[in-house]
Amino acid sequence: MMNEKEERVTKSPNYTELHDAGELGRRVDRALAMLEECELCPRRCGVNRLEGETGWCGAGRHAHVASFGPHYGEESVLVGRGGSGAIFFSGCNLGCIFCQNAGISRDPEAGPEASSEDLAGVMLDLQRQGCGNINFVTPSHVVPQILEALPVAVDHGLSLPLVFNSSAYDAVETLKLLDGVVDIYMPDVKMWDEALSKRLLQAADYPECARNAVAEMHRQTGDLVVENGRARRGLLVRHLVMPLGAAGSAQWAQWLARLSMRTWVNVMGQYHPCLDAHGHPETSRMVSESELCAAFEAMREAGLHRFEGREAFERRCT
């Protein structure tokens, strides 16, 4: 029998209730006002994006959608039969020297500019294709644009869970605008060390900002709820293992366990050097099997037990 939380999750997403109550419209107004002196992310550039000025991320008044479609390479609990409905936004508020999507992240105008109607149409198209959710990829710098498009999409029948798939370099104030809007948060927690974050991510404050952001994400949605193999609501954390322990896997493991022993974690071993990674020892080679297993063991030793691909890890690492 479903518990009370699971039963609530299976109903229509909370954002439809916010829209019916007029709260979603108020969130849109507040978010757009933040673009006038942009402080959406920890960079706090202060530029007037409503007038077309751009800061670190390169985004102006409107979002650019680099690509969209059913994505079958995401976590199993997101994919289902119809795939995760991924929307890849151009630009990024981080400067990872090893970015594997640099063609999108370093070009804020990759893909066409999308009005609120355009973006709503993309969401509805993905729903019509049978996707199980709408997966906003690299959305931290376009939260107002997402919120602006959502009422249009809801008015035309959008009813899928929303996934916020970010680098975790998010401002808590911005995340609060998404409380009750986002169903599943999927942050990719990267470096733990400030010096490495400054050198490899171009953001010395990344560790602190990421911890604050993930804590807020968990406060809003709680531990991941999975029904019939599908994620419905909650926090799903990604962690990209880096050579020489550069990502601070053991430290992240301890912190995530303190957040909740039921945190769902995807320990990712697919790192490969690209872009400007070859000039740094921490990023110049692929992750070894022993490094990957050490990261997984650190997560288990911290008390975490909900993992993407857990059985495969246990076969590889024991």
pLDDT attached to residue 7 = 38
Vertex 88 angle, CA 72 and 23, to 5°: 105
Residue 312: how many other CB atoms lie within 10 Å: 10
Q: What percent of the chain has pLDDT over 70?
A: 96
pLDDT attached to residue 9 = 44
Tell me the CA distances in angstroms from 95 to 54, 98, 119, 157, 167, one per residue in order: 16, 9, 25, 37, 11
DSSP letter at 244 equals G
pLDDT attached to residue 12 = 65
pLDDT band, very low/low/confident/very high, at 310 (cuts 50, 70, 90) = confident
Rounded to whole angstroms, the Cα distance separating 92 from 138 reads 7
Per-residue model confidence as pLDDT tens digits over 256-293: 999 999 999 999 999 999 999 998 999 999 999 999 99
Count Cβ neighbours within 10 Å for each residue of 82-96 and write b for 16 or more, e otherwise.
Answer: ebbbbbbbbbbbbeb
Contact 163, 136 (CB under 8 A): yes
Contact 315, 307 (CB under 8 A): no
Looking at the DSSP bridge assignments, the partners of residue 69 are: 86
Tell me the CA distances in angstroms from 121 to 5, 15, 32, 113, 118, one per residue in order: 31, 17, 20, 13, 5
pLDDT attached to residue 312 = 81
Tell me the CA distances in angstroms from 284 to 89, 189, 272, one per residue in order: 27, 20, 8
pLDDT attached to residue 267 = 97
Domains annotated for the chain, with CATH where assigned, are 14-50+64-317 (3.20.20.70)
pLDDT attached to residue 16 = 95
Residue 253: how many other CB atoms lie within 10 Å: 24
Give the SS3 label for residue 89: strand
Average pLDDT over the chain, rounded to whole?
A: 94
- Over residues 119-147, the mean pLDDT reads 98
Rounded to whole angstroms, the Cα distance separating 217 from 180 reads 11
- The residue whose two tokens read 């609990």 is 77
| Amino acid found at 89 | F
- Over residues 290-301, the mean pLDDT reads 96
| C-alpha 68, offset from chain centre | 16
Per-residue model confidence as pLDDT tens digits over 15-44: 999 999 999 999 999 999 999 999 999 999
Give the SS3 label for residue 152: helix
Whether pLDDT at 4 is above 60: no
Whether pLDDT at 142 is above 70: yes
Whether pLDDT at 11 is above 90: no
pLDDT attached to residue 8 = 41
